[in-house]
Chains A and B, each alone.
Chain A
C-alpha cells in the first residue's frame, strides 16, 4: 500500500468512526470498536521507525506548507501513543460496558484520539493548533464524563486551564507567524526564524507556558491532579499517558534547538526540576492512588522538561531524542499503571499479588530500576543532564519518584475490592498486561535510537549502581514516610487551586456591577446622550487634523 495513503488513514480512521457515530446504532456499538481506531497510526509509526528514509508527508496547501508530516520523535510518540490508545480503548469497552452514555463517551474519545494523534503529525502552525485544540478541549468530555459534582468541577477547572493554554499558544503562534518572512506556515520554517524574531522572549515565554500547562509543569500543573482522578479509568490512562505528551511534542517541535539559548534552557530546566520535586512533595500527602499517579506524571514531565531545557541551553538535538525516549516510556508505563488501578479496584485483596508485582516493577521503573525500560530511559537522558548539579538533582528526583511510587503502591493495594471473590474481567486484564510488557520491553528497542547499546549497559556495573542508589534512597525515605507520614499536612487535590476559592465571588461582583451598568446604559436618555457624545468624539479629533 502507498505509504502516504496509510498515513492519511491514520487520521481518517478515527474521523470515519466519528462520522459513523451520527448513526445511532453505530454510536451504541462504538465502544467495542475503539480498539481499532488507532491501529493505522500504529502501523504508520512502525513502518516509519523501521525505515527512517520513508517519512511520509501530506501537503494540503503547498503554498503555505499546510499539511501533515512525520519525523523520528513524532513517529516514536505516535507509535506508543497509538498503542496506549488501542489498549485503553479495549479496556474502556469492558470498563464502561453496561453503564449509561457509552455513545457520548465514544464520541469524546474519538475526538480526543484524533487530536492526540494529530499533534504528533501536524506539520504547520494551523494544523498543529487545530489538533492541539481538539485534544485539549475534547478531553473535557472524558474528564467530566461521570457527571458527578466532582467530575463537573474537575471539568470546569480542566477546561478553563486548557482554554487559557490555547490562548497562550495562539498568541505564540501569531508571533511566530508574524516574525517569519514568507508565506510558509510550516513549523520548521517559522521556528527556524524564531531566534531572529524581535519578539523572541515573548514567544518563548508563551510557548513554554502554553505547552508547560499541557505537560503539567508547575505551577500550571494544577489541572492534572484534579482531572485525572475524576475521569473514568481508561480516560485517566490516556490523559496522563498521551494527552500531557501533547505538551512535550509541542516543546520539541517549537523550541529552536540549534540556537543555544542558554538562559531560556536554564529557565526550562529550572522549572522542570522544581516541578519534579514539588509534585513529589504534593503527591505523598495524597490518598487517592489516581491522584498520586497524577502528581507522579507532573514530576516525570518536569524531568522531561529539564532534559529538554539542558538541550535548549546548549543547542543540542540529542536532548530531543533523549526526551522523546523518556516521554515514550512514561507514556506506556503511566498508561499501564492507571489501567492497573482499575484492575486493583476490581480484584480481591488476596488475589492482588499477580497485579501488584508487575505494577511495582513499572512504578519503580520511573525511578530507573534496572533493567526496566525506565532504566534505559534514564540512561538515555544521562549525557544530556550531565554529571553536575543538574545530574545530581535528577538522581535525587529519581529517589523522590521511588518514594512517590511506593506510596502509590500502598494506596493502590489499599483500594483493592473488599469483595473476597472479586476478580477483574479479562477485558481489563489483558490490555494492562499488554501495556506492561510494552513499557518493559519497547525502550530496549528504542534505546539504539538514543545511541545506547542495551547489552553493554547491562554489563556496566557503575551504570547499574547509578540506577540503583536513588531507588535505595527512595526506599529509605518511604520507610520514613510510613513511620511519620501521618504528621504531614493534608493538601487538597490541585494544591494551588485552593488559593482561588474566593474568585467566583469576586467574578460575580464584577458581573453584577456590569449588569447594573448595562441597565443604566439601556435607559433611553443615556443611550441618546451616548450617541451624541460619540458623534462629537468622532468629529472633534478630525478637526484637529493638520
Chain B
C-alpha cells in the first residue's frame, strides 16, 4: 500500500465520517457545519482526482456559498420547528437503510466493473483545443465544445433569481432583498469587509483571467466576487440593490445575453450557432467569460440575498 493510498484512505474515511455526522447530527447547526467541513474535504478529493477546476468550484460554491445559505436558514429555525416533528419510525429507517445500501452497493459494483481502458474524450478535446485558442481544456469544453450547456446554465441562474424573487412577501416587490441584515458597524466583521474585498476582487479577476490557460474560469471567479459582495453586504458596507433596478437586471443577463449574441453571430461568421470564427476565438471567449463572470457573481450574490422585502418586514422575520 503506497503512502498516497493511505492518505486517500484517511481522506475517504474522514469524508464518510463527516457525511454520517451530517446526517446523524442532532442539531441543525451541527449538520450544516458538518456539511461545510465535508465540502472542503471533498474539494481536496477533487485535487487528488486531478480536477483542480472542480476543486475550486466545489470549495467556492459547493461548500462556501451553499454553506452560507444553509447556515442562514439553520440559525433562523425557531425551536418550535425543531421539536414538533415526530422522528421517522424504526421500520422505515431500516428499510430505507437497506434500500439505500442496495443502491450504493450496486453503484460500487458498477464502479469496480467500469470498462478498462476507460472511454475518454480527453484526446479529442486536446486535438481540438488549439482551434479555440485556449490553454485550459475544461474552459474549452465549457465555452466552446459544450457551449450550449454553459449558456443554458447561466440562464438557469436567471431562472433561479426569478424564482427567488417571486417569493417576495406582500409589499415586498421592488424593494431590496431582505435576508442579509447587516451586523452592527464597527465590529470585527467590518474590518474584514474592508480589508478582504480588494484582495478578493483581485483573486476573482485573476481566476477568471487565468481560466483561459490554467484552472479557473468564470464560475470560480464569479463565486469569489460574489463572496466579496456578500461579505460587504453582511458587514453593512453595501446594501443589496433594489430588485427593480434596471442596471441590476442588465448585469444579471449581460453574460448569457452576450453569449447568446455571439452565438447567433456565429451562424453567419462561423457557420454554426455558438461557433467562433477561428481568428477571433480567443478574444471573443474572453469577452464572454468576462460578462459571464460579472453575471454569475451578481446572480450568486443575489441568490444569497433572498427575495425582496419591505423594510418593515425585517421585524416580522423569525
Contact = CB atoms under 8 A, between A and B. Distances in A.
Tier of interface size on chain B = under 10
A532 B106 contact: no
Contacts of A526: 92
A546 interface: no
A533 B100 CA distance: 10
B95 interface: yes
Contact of A539 (B88, B92, B100, B106): B106
B99 A536 contact: yes
Contact of A533 (B88, B99, B106): B99
Interface in B93-114: 95-96, 99-100, 102-103, 106
Contacts of A525: 88, 92, 96
B96 A535 contact: no
Interface in A526-546: 526, 528-529, 532-533, 535-536, 539
Contacts of B96: 525, 528-529, 532
Contacts of A535: 103
Contacts of A536: 99, 102-103
Contacts of B100: 532
A340 to B, nearest CB: 69
B88 A532 contact: no
A526 B95 CA distance: 10
Contacts of B99: 529, 532-533, 536
Interface in B62-109: 88, 92, 95-96, 99-100, 102-103, 106
Contacts of A533: 99
A81 B242 CA distance: 75
A91 B133 CA distance: 89
Secondary structure call for the A interface: helix
A532 B92 contact: no
A359 B96 CA distance: 77
Contacts of A539: 106
B6 to A, nearest CB: 34
A536 B102 CA distance: 8
Contacts of A532: 96, 99-100, 102-103
Interface in B253-275: none
Contacts of A529: 92, 95-96, 99
A519 to B, nearest CB: 15
Nearest to B95: A529
A422 B226 CA distance: 93
Interface in B234-262: none
A520 to B, nearest CB: 12
Q: Specify which of A528, A532, A536 lies most central, judged by the most chain B CB atoms within 10 Å of its CB.
A: A532
Contacts of B102: 532, 536
Contacts of B103: 532, 535-536
A188 to B, nearest CB: 56
A526 B89 CA distance: 11
A528 B92 CA distance: 10
Nearest to B96: A529
B24 to A, nearest CB: 16
A539 B104 CA distance: 13
A105 B306 CA distance: 58
Nearest to B99: A532
A535 to B, nearest CB: 6
A536 B100 CA distance: 10
Nearest to B102: A536
A536 B105 CA distance: 11
Interface in A497-546: 525-526, 528-529, 532-533, 535-536, 539
A539 B102 CA distance: 11
A539 B105 CA distance: 13
Contacts of B106: 539
A523 to B, nearest CB: 9
A535 B105 CA distance: 13
A528 B93 CA distance: 11
A535 B88 CA distance: 22
B113 to A, nearest CB: 12
A145 B96 CA distance: 56
A528 B99 CA distance: 10
A134 to B, nearest CB: 46
A526 B99 CA distance: 12
Contacts of B95: 529
B109 to A, nearest CB: 10
A239 to B, nearest CB: 55
A536 B98 CA distance: 12
A525 B99 CA distance: 12
A525 B96 CA distance: 8
A525 B106 CA distance: 21
A532 B104 CA distance: 11
A528 B96 CA distance: 8
Nearest to B89: A525
A533 B95 CA distance: 10
Nearest to B93: A525
B110 to A, nearest CB: 10
Nearest to A539: B106
Nearest to B100: A532
Interface string B194-213: 00000000000000000000
A534 to B, nearest CB: 10
Nearest to A533: B99
A539 B96 CA distance: 17
A226 B103 CA distance: 59
A529 B98 CA distance: 10
A533 B99 CA distance: 7
B98 to A, nearest CB: 9
B111 to A, nearest CB: 15
Contacts of A528: 96
B96 to A, nearest CB: 6
A22 to B, nearest CB: 40
Given A525-B92, A529-B96, A539-B106, 13 more contacts: A525-B88, A525-B96, A526-B92, A528-B96, A529-B92, A529-B95, A532-B99, A532-B102, A533-B99, A535-B103, A536-B99, A536-B102, A536-B103
The 9 closest A-B pairs by CB, nearest first: A532-B99, A525-B92, A525-B88, A529-B95, A536-B102, A529-B96, A532-B103, A535-B103, A529-B99
20 contacts: A525-B88, A525-B92, A525-B96, A526-B92, A528-B96, A529-B92, A529-B95, A529-B96, A529-B99, A532-B96, A532-B99, A532-B100, A532-B102, A532-B103, A533-B99, A535-B103, A536-B99, A536-B102, A536-B103, A539-B106
Interface of B: 88, 92, 95-96, 99-100, 102-103, 106
